[in-house]
Amino acid sequence: MISTAVKKSFNKLKFQREIELPDFASKSSIPIRHLNIGFDGKEIDVRFYMDNQFATLFFATLSVFLTYGEDLVIETARHHREFIKDPILKQRVTSLIGQEAIHSKLHNEYNDALQDAEYPVALYRFLGSNFFKYVFLKFPQPLKLSMMAGIEHFTAVLAEYMMKHEKNFYYSDDEKSRALWMWHMLEESEHKDIAYDVYQLLNGSYALRASGFFLALFTILGLIPATTLFVPVLRKPQEMLTLKFWKDARRGVGLIFGPKDGVFGSTIGQILDYLRPDFHPNDHDTTEYLEYYKKKLLTEGGAIAPYFVKEFTPPVRMS
């Protein structure tokens, strides 16, 4: 009874003005790339990100919970693809689904290696699986669509930051972790506008868009940092008795949330830009970085070249 009322209320949240949609015909095709990286827990550097254990723990925790966010994106995109009539946007949604499916697969393989390196992956998988199953996946489809767009905004901001600060991935000799994250950032930037375009086309409510944003905010900047704090307790609590640990933790918090150079602290303006009524992901142009990254990663000798298997671009189906 209550769930039916909630679904009806969300379905009524429509924009009261005409929404200007982009020209989908001008959009470039997006390939689905298959990689075989072959992670090994013994090779994972616990100080991979900028030679800092605490910041690296944040990315490890993010990797575990990302898989559930990606699964939500896949499920939601598949559901709403059936309502899209534009063949090019429909093809781009198929590319989004394909890329996110490969992300989920490889991050799960990476997470298996993290578990071998004594990270509490099994516990966090249990928490993530149940939270998404009994909370987020129970949301009505319009709210899931808005949350999908919100999640993709956060990953787009993260991707842009990382592409602008690629040196942050080169403090370590852990080439496989570097390949995973650089490839992931490339593809998040490639498909950053798809979920938003689908949302605007099929719903367009500003109030609902803002709701999805705050749910993504709660997850990425609330739940994930909170669970990161418990990793040292569960993994190697004896390290917390040392001054070195707390110095490292202080620096790590700054690397992620610092207002000057932190991953999310320095990009808070761009994050909040999503709340601008006329916002569009392509207002933040990353074309130059995308072209640079494709050459750096995909050409012979590139960071992911040793792990590249194949790529496939879904066809545009006119019927």
Full 3-state SS string of 200-218: HHHCCCHHHHHHHHHHHHH
Indicate whether 164 pLDDT > 90. Answer: yes
Q: What is the pLDDT of residue 19?
A: 60
Share of the chain above pLDDT 70, in %: 93
Contact 65, 224 (CB under 8 A): yes
pLDDT digits (tens, 9 = 90+) for 97-154: 999 999 999 999 999 999 999 899 999 999 999 999 999 999 999 999 999 999 999 9
Indicate whether 4 pLDDT > 70. Answer: no
Q: Which residues of 237-271 are buried (b: 16+ CB within 10 A; e: fewer)?
A: eeeeeeeebeebbebbbbbbbeeeebbbeebeebb
pLDDT digits (tens, 9 = 90+) for 29-38: 899 999 999 9
Closest CA to 152 of 202, 111, 102, 212: 212
Name, in order, each residue with C-beta under 8 angstroms of 310's C-beta and a sequence gap of 6 or more: 33, 34
Domain boundaries, the chain: 50-307
193-204 mean pLDDT: 97
52-80 mean pLDDT: 97
Contact 140, 11 (CB under 8 A): yes
Closest CA to 205 of 193, 213, 194: 213
Indicate whether 17 pLDDT > 70. Answer: no
83-90 mean pLDDT: 95
Contact 15, 208 (CB under 8 A): no
pLDDT digits (tens, 9 = 90+) for 223-255: 999 999 999 888 888 888 889 999 999 999 999
Q: Two tokens at 30?
A: 């997006």
Min mean pLDDT across 116-130, 155-169, 233-247, 286-300 is at 233-247
Indicate whether 92 pLDDT > 60. Answer: yes
Q: What is the pLDDT of residue 236?
A: 84
Indicate whether 9 pLDDT > 70. Answer: no
